[in-house]
Amino acid sequence: MQGITQSDIVDRLSRMRRGDVIAYLGRLECKFPLDLTPKFLAAMSLGRLRHVAFAASLHARNGVEALDLFVPTH
């Protein structure tokens, strides 16, 4: 990850709303398929969603670029 630390990713994810975290997950280009159905994502707590997004971003080819698309609103 170019110039961004894991702490930076955690900070950015912690300020994202639920819909933004789900959209971020959908934009990740991981080395493995993310088979996360809308029903499964809806049942997850926001904390768990952020955790999954963080873990997936560590394996994504575009993790930083995809994260840059989201500007937290709060």
SS3 of the chain: the string is CCCCCHHHHHHHHHCCCHHHHHHHHHHCCECCCCCCCHHHHHHCCHHHHHHHHHHHHCCECCHHHHHHCCCCCC
Pick the more confident residue, 6 or 18: 18
Assess if residue 31 is contained within a domain: yes
- Range scoring the smallest mean pLDDT among 19-23, 34-38, 47-51: 34-38
57 part of a folded domain: yes
Domain range enclosing 47: 6-68
- Per the structure, the count of domains in the chain is 1
Instruction: Kindly tell me if the per-residue pLDDT of 31 is higher than 60.
Output: yes
Average pLDDT across the chain, whole number: 85
Q: Tell me whether residue 34 is in a domain.
A: yes
| Domain assignment present for 74 | no
Whole-model pTM?
0.80
Mean pLDDT of 35-40: 92
pLDDT of residue 1 exceeding 50, the answer is no
The pLDDT value recorded for residue 49 is: 97
